[in-house]
Amino acid sequence: MSVIKEIAVYCRVSSEDQAEYGYNLREQERRIEQYLQVYEEEFQEPVIKYIDDGYSARTLNRKEMKVLISDIQQGKICKVVVHNLDRLTRSVTDLMFMPELFNDYDVQLFSLKEKIDTKTAIGRFFVSMIILVAQWETEAISERTIRGMDQSAYEGNWVHGRAPFGYDLINKRLEINPRESAIVKEAYYLYFYEFKSRGEIRHIFNNAHRMEKFMWTYDRIKHLLNNKIYKGTYENARISIDNHSPAILEASYFDDVQHALALRNKRSQYPYIFKGKCKDSEQGNY
């Protein structure tokens, strides 16, 4: 027995849409109903509605959208009708996924605003062009954002949100925090002059320098001992800026500590008989 396939009418609205554009669900439904009546010869199958109220288009994780996708995958749907494409999604990744889904299950897409009908070659081409333009726009925005962040960094601004430990963020610039910077200096002193391991420093700090917002961990100490900002250098994957921020440590001292870190890491690569076998019960280190 063959399954009678249905026409899926999908409507979505978010609170932002209603405030900014005046979109509402009833208006979307009304216009789609008019469209189906005008082209009733093409739309003779039963109609089923999927209505997502108050959901963002940034994700497909919406109640009715998940039902629609499931129904498509079960072969229940032959056509999907929307008022405009961004009712389906505004995510480039999802915009690429949806046409593939429709194609895999022989589902036609109709969008009123863009006048898209994927049963025609020109309709499928138009959807492909929209996806390419959306992808290009996303990448262009990302590139402009990265260039803007790098330029701001060259101007001496901190562009990563929260200030690193040891600093306060004031008017987009880093300023030394006296209490935290003293802890930074102590970590370097303990490692370089007293030959304490990162695990030992963690243990000392969790007793002597308990912080309200976090516990000292091995990785946090490791990051503390490697962060070039403490000698005033800002660095990301693309650029390195000396004298970007006020230094907590002398550059030569910081570099000496990096050399010591490299030497100790190299030593730790040698095979030791009891390596990984003996555990410090107090600190939890091997």
Question: SS3 of 60, please?
Answer: coil
φ, ψ of residue 202 to 5 degrees: the values are -55, -45
Distance between CA atoms of residues 228 and 242, nearest Å = 9
Of 256, 247, 213, the closest CA to residue 228 belongs to 247
Looking at residue 286, its pLDDT comes to: 45
Looking at residue 225, its pLDDT comes to: 97
The pTM is what?
Answer: 0.57
In terms of Cβ atoms closer than 10 Å to its own Cβ (0-12, 13-18, 19+), residue 171 is exposed
CB 180 within 8 A of CB 161: no
Averaged in consecutive runs of 10 residues, what is the pLDDT profile of the chain (286 residues)? Answer: 83 70 79 92 92 85 94 95 87 82 92 83 81 77 90 95 95 97 97 95 93 91 97 95 97 97 77 52 49
Q: Dihedral sign, CA of 275, 205, 216, 207? A: positive
Domains for the chain: give ranges and CATH numbers.
6-121 (3.40.50.1390), 167-267 (3.90.1750.20)
Strand partners, 117: 110
Token pair for 58: 């940034």
**Could you give the C-alpha distances from 124 to 17, 20, 69, 96, 131, in angstroms and in order?**
27, 30, 20, 12, 11
Query: Count of CB atoms within 10 A of residue 44's CB?
Result: 8
Looking at residue 66, its pLDDT comes to: 95
Looking at residue 124, its pLDDT comes to: 80
- The set of residues, in sequence order, having a beta carbon less than 8 Å from that of 70 and lying 6+ positions away, is none
Looking at residue 136, its pLDDT comes to: 79
Could you please report the per-residue DSSP string of 169-200?
EETTEEEE-HHHHHHHHHHHHHHHTS---HHH
- Per-residue pLDDT tens digits for 104-129: 999 999 989 888 888 778 878 888 78
- Assign residue 54 a region (left: φ > 0; alpha: ψ between -120 and 50; beta: otherwise): left
Looking at residue 19, its pLDDT comes to: 45
Query: Count of CB atoms within 10 A of residue 80's CB?
Result: 22
The letter for the amino acid at 70 is: S
Contacts 24+ apart (CB under 8 A), 187-195: 187/221, 187/224, 187/225, 188/225, 188/230, 188/249, 188/253, 188/254, 188/257, 191/225, 191/257, 191/260, 191/261, 192/253, 192/256, 192/257, 192/260
φ, ψ of residue 168 to 5 degrees: the values are -115, 150
